[in-house]
Structure 1
Amino acid sequence: MQYPPAIISSATSRLQTLFDVENLPASNLEALHYKLARVIQHLLQADLSRLLHILYRIDVEERQVKEAMIADDPEIIAERISRLIIKRELQKAEIRQRYSG
């Protein structure tokens, strides 16, 4: 699905705040996914409770997270979780835009 730049930018800005990171790409979803997956992989290994708290705040379905975590490779898990997070934040950005104007 194609998203307008304003939606992607809004979602990216929120993700930067939630994950306390800078310079997430706001124009390319694949680049955003790649960079966010690296951040998530770090949290999986270093601070799982913080990652779970962020997932709760973003409101990613618990069932989807559990399914995403069924893998032996932390890189695959991080990529799956990254996609879930980005999808949810894009949905929320669309809703905010739809009802704000």
Structure 2
Amino acid sequence: MAEKTQTIAMIEWNARKEGFIKLNTDGACRSNEMAGCEGVIPGSQGEWIRGYAKNIGRCIAFVMKLWRVLEGLRCIRTMRFKKVELNIDLAFVEQVLKFRKFHCLT
């Protein structure tokens, strides 16, 4: 029987500058390509401001990542915030830039 290993990760929370909010997103695609996304929008001190969830339907993981950011930014726009912190991994940004050949992003 294989022995289980435990991974410990140190997590640190840093307060944002006053007036900034942060968009935290997540999403998932099943093997049948059904996808959904969700996110939370905490304030500068980590307090709950708003959350959202959306059933996207059929799509690939790459498109789901676009949806989760879009839905979060739409949510923030309705609240009229101007200062937003959004963290996206560089590999994803590179994929978006290479995806230009598709008409929906040009």
Sort the TM-score into its range (normalised by shorter chain). Answer: 0.3 to 0.5
| Greater share of residues in strand | 2
Whose Rg is larger?
2
TM-score of the superposition, structure 1-length normalised? 0.34
Q: Which has the higher helix share?
A: 1
With normalisation by structure 2, the TM-score equals 0.33
